[in-house]
Amino acid sequence: MVWRPPLDGSTNVERFMAAHGLDSFDELLRRSVEDPTWFWAAVVDALGIPFERRWEAVVDVSDGVPWARWFTGATTNLCAACLDRWVAACPEATALVWEGEDCDQRSLTYAQLTQEVDAVAALLARRGVGAGDTVGIFLPMVPEVVAAALAVAKLGAIFLPIFSGYGADAVAVRLADAGAKALICADGFLRRGRQVPMAATARAACAAVASIETVVVVPRLGIGTTDEGWAPWPSPSPSSAPGGATVPTAMVDSETPLFIAYTSGTTGAPKGAVHVHGGLTVKIAEEAAFQLDVRGPSGPGADDGDRLFWFADFGWIMGPWEVIGALANGATVCLYEGAPDWPGPDRLWAYLERHRVTVLGLSPTLVRALMVHGPAPVEGHDLSTLRVLGSTGEPWNEEPWRWYFEVVGGRRCPVINISGGTEVGACFLSPHPVQELTPMTLGGPALGMAVDVFGDDGRPVRGAVGELVCTAPWPGMTRGLWKAPDRYLETYWSRWSDVWVHGDWASIQDGRWYLHGRSDDTIKIAGKRLGPAEVESVLVSHPAVVEAAAVGVPDEVKGEALWVYVVLGEGAPAADGRDGLRAELRALVADRLGRSFAPSVVHFAAALPKTRSAKVLRRAIRATAVGADPGDLSSLEDPAAVEAVRSAS
């Protein structure tokens, strides 16, 4: 046990428990799962999420559990929850702070953000965008990405987040599949000191998408564009009354689509998870409030509330999550445009100090990449404002988890390690700030989530690794895959009746939950399952190893053989002297995990293929190893990393 909560009644979840006469978190968790109708209605009331018209039923499964509908008959809008109510209550509170890689900085109050949102909403409306139309958002993490999403939602239209690093083909595929009517892009952005021209990519993509009628360009770099029919990002109207909106928010049915989040598959076209105004807003607001303890100003005229920063691109689910999670609770969303270690290894920590971030979210892979610089870059900055650390994206291994907890959080901040997914819309598993924490734990089920671990026979298992499942619907779940209902049912609901199978391996040990990687990443050697994270955790414990990836490749004798790819740090042996290190690493894995799991092959690579959110793309490594089709690689930050794997020694 490394962290114990103060239990002084100060957290959001403690106040909620007190309001409902619940004496323990376990009691709250049990009731939230057993009586979701009570719980989710109580969440709406506790967080003050606005519904213009109250619902007829909290949940309706008359069309089947996979097609559950939430807050039926109610009307609401994401913009009403994240902007309108705060501009009325605390217009001068800070809604957003931003820093570019060139150290340019901006901040917007809720009143100023309203004016930005109104200006672009009015422009889109004049260009014919209305309820049900889809608008692509192809932007880096600049203030306009928040304004764009809220403006589209305000009109009752659907926004489509697109990863800022995509090439033209990847952008076009998503725009075409969604039938996008408009695109909002930037002229470019900065990445490691270089200009990345987005407008050129957008131009090529739009040429292949017949449905695009309007393109709006944010002048991030001041390059400008002269394309016919393209519109510059509008300036806020000076006639807007302070704190007042000039474009009315369209109050829509709670099940109205809000955005389409595309996620890449191993095979086939990217799949678009559909999320809606009512359920997603409520679920994310609850998670930010009860899991990360995000708080807004204490009252009218009070100082700002929490400052939430999650290192994410808007094209990853955590991008919309941080925007909704912060603003739905009246807090401040913090954005950063560039690389976390450029021009120096302390860039991220300097950002946190400058902007007084209180709630921080990083992926385990990003922590592993930053910790190679040692504690000095962190310790050179005052991070005393931090009070909660978050993480998601993949399983931890213990050394980087402890570095995050001890060096970054000073042993005083809980690590809220959450697990969910694009299609989940939020989290299945999460610790809460009223629970004691052990390293790497996911705590247990998130509130209101009927999750379990099933064995191959479809029955719950304890103390062993099995499939992570959910046995009841939840508000944030995708309402299907865009234009692909059969694919949705086949992907998530086909293995066991009315049970969502998420594709993660998990285990419950002594009441605590742990993840062991994607089930499609799992390696099976002579009938024994092995999670790649287990192997990688052992490998990175060696002082010469910076990063590692483990994959299974076909083997005539064992079924699969274990191959590992290792990135070495400074001072490692030269290429012609690595046989000894290769033997050391094989012996290390055999000693920790058992002789049958000793790697058959140890490769040394210059880099590993990763997404912009710093997740290692193991399927690309596996496909490269066996000469197979790696599927959609459009989310890679550096496509050259695949070649680094191919040429590994």
CATH of the domain at 76: 3.40.50.12780
CB 597 within 8 A of CB 536: no
Reading the block at residue 202, the tokens are 């957008």
Q: 507, 540, 561: which is the final residue of a domain?
A: 507
- Distance (Å, whole) CA 377 – CA 388: 20
Q: Which residues contact 556 (CB under 8 A, 6 or more apart)?
A: none
Residues 229 and 364 grouped into a single domain = yes
Residue 7 lies in a domain: no
Same structural domain for residues 112 and 233? yes
| Rounded to 5°, angle at Cα 510 from 508 and 511 | 60
Report yes or no on 517 lying in a domain. no
Long-range contacts at 300-306 (CB < 8 A, ≥ 24 apart): 300/89, 300/90, 301/90, 301/92, 302/90, 302/93, 304/93, 304/94, 304/331, 304/332, 305/93, 305/329, 305/330, 305/331, 305/332, 306/331, 306/332, 306/358, 306/359
* Boundary of a domain, candidates 448, 478, 507: 507
If one compares 363 and 640, the residue with the highest pLDDT of the two is: 363
Summarised one tens digit per residue, pLDDT across range 205-226 is: 999 999 999 999 999 999 877 7
pLDDT digits (tens, 9 = 90+) for 21-30: 999 999 999 9
| 92 and 28 co-located in one domain | yes
Q: Does residue 350 lie in a domain region? A: yes
Query: In this structure, is residue 516 part of a structural domain?
Result: no
Instruction: Answer yes or no: do 419 and 543 share one domain.
Output: no
Residue-level pLDDT at 643: 85
Cβ–Cβ < 8 Å for 603, 564? yes
Q: Give the residue carrying structure tokens 């000894």.
A: 580
The pLDDT-based confidence of 302 (bands split at 50, 70, 90) is low
Distance CA 377, CA 56 (A): 54
pLDDT of residue 34: 98
Report the range of poorest mean pLDDT among 53-57, 201-205, 419-423, 614-618: 614-618
Give the tens place of pLDDT for each residue, 413-462: 999 999 998 999 989 999 999 999 999 999 999 999 999 999 999 999 99
Together in a domain, 401 and 478: yes
Q: Rounded to an integer, what distance in angstroms lies between the CA atom of residue 562 and that of residue 540?
A: 16
- Helix (H) or strand (E) segment spanning residue 253: strand 252-253
Residues 6+ apart with CB under 8 A from 100: 142, 189, 190, 220, 337, 338
Same domain, 568 and 491: no
Q: Which of 23-27, 53-57, 321-325, 557-561 has the lowest mean pLDDT?
A: 557-561
Do the domain assignments include residue 66? yes
Q: What is the DSSP string of 165-232?
A: T--HHHHHHHHHHHT-SEEEEES-EEETTEEE-HHHHHHHHHTT-TT--EEEEE-SSS-----TTEEE
pLDDT in tens, 495-530: 999 999 998 888 998 888 988 777 777 787 866 667
What is the pLDDT at residue 244? Answer: 61
Compute the C-alpha angle 32/36/42, nearest 5°: 80
Mean pLDDT of 335-364: 96
Q: Are strands 105-109 and 94-99 parallel, antiparallel or unpaired?
A: antiparallel
pLDDT at 15 over 80: yes
One domain, residues 475 and 551: no
Least confident piece of the model among 258-262, 332-336, 456-460, 637-641:
637-641
Distance separating alpha carbons of residues 539 and 547, to the nearest angstrom: 8
**Nearest CA among 62, 153, 65, 92 for reference residue 497:** 65
Q: What is the DSSP secondary structure assignment for residue 142, as one 8-state letter?
A: S
Query: Which residues lie closer than 8 Å to 191 by C-beta, 6 or more apart?
Result: 101, 338, 339
Residue 613 banded pLDDT, cuts 50, 70, 90: low
Tracing tokens 């213009």 back to the chain, one arrives at: 52
* Residue 299 confidence (pLDDT) above 70: no
Res 300: pLDDT: 61
Distance, C-alpha 643 to centroid of its chain: 27
CB 346 within 8 A of CB 108: no
Pairing of strands 359-362, 388-391: parallel
Instruction: Give the per-residue pLDDT at 266.
Output: 44
In a domain? residue 226:
yes
pLDDT, mean over the chain: 92
Q: How confident is the model at residue 240 (pLDDT cuts 50, 70, 90)?
A: very low
**Residues 574 and 494 placed together within one structural domain of the fold:** no
First-to-last C-alpha distance (Å) of the chain: 41
Q: Using the predicted structure, report yes or no on whether residue 242 has a pLDDT greater than 80.
A: no
Average pLDDT over residues 520-541: 78
Structural domain ending residue among the three candidates 507, 534, 566: 507
What is the pLDDT at residue 24?
A: 97
Cβ count within 10 A of residue 543: 9
Clarify whether residues 106 and 136 are in a common domain. Answer: yes
pLDDT of residue 265: 53
Q: pLDDT class for 612, splitting at 50, 70, 90?
A: low
**Cβ contacts of 378-381, under 8 Å, gap ≥ 24:** 378/346, 378/349, 378/407, 378/408, 379/407, 380/346, 380/349, 381/346, 381/349, 381/350, 381/352, 381/353
546 in the same domain as 431: no
- Give me the residues paired with residue 616 across strands: 610
Q: Who has greater pLDDT, 357 or 441?
A: 357
The boundaries of the domain holding residue 257 are: 12-507
pLDDT-based confidence at residue 641 (cuts at 50, 70, 90): confident
User: What is the number of structural domains in the chain?
Assistant: 2
The answer to whether the beta carbons of residues 575 and 546 sit under 8 Å apart is no
Interval 111-164: pLDDT, tens: 999 999 999 999 999 999 999 999 999 999 999 999 999 999 999 999 999 999
CATH number of the domain encompassing residue 576: 3.30.300.30
> Is residue 407 in a domain?
yes
Least-confidence region, from 54-58, 174-178, 482-486, 522-526? 522-526
DSSP characters over 531-547: -HHHHHHHHHTSTTEEE
Report if residue 512 sits inside a domain: no
What is residue 313's predicted lDDT score, i.e. its pLDDT? 93
Give kind and range of the element (H or E) at residue 634: none
Share of the chain above pLDDT 70, in %: 96
Which residue's entry shows tokens 């100060």?
10
Query: Do 502 and 527 fall within a single domain?
Result: no
**Is residue 633 within 8 Å of 570, Cβ to Cβ?**
no
Q: Are 449 and 33 in contact (CB under 8 A)?
A: yes
pLDDT tens-digit profile of 378-401? 999 999 999 999 999 888 888 899
- Residue 235: the pLDDT is 92
Are 408 and 475 found together in one domain?
yes
Q: Could you tell me the pLDDT band of residue 577, with boundaries at 50, 70 and 90?
A: confident
DSSP 546-610: EEEEEEEEEETTTEEEEEEEEEE-TTPPPGGG-HHHHHHHHHHHHHHH-GGGS-SEEEE-S---B
Reply yes or no on whether the pLDDT at 267 is more than 60: no
**Beta-sheet strands, E only, within 385-449:** 388-391, 415-417, 419-420, 427-429
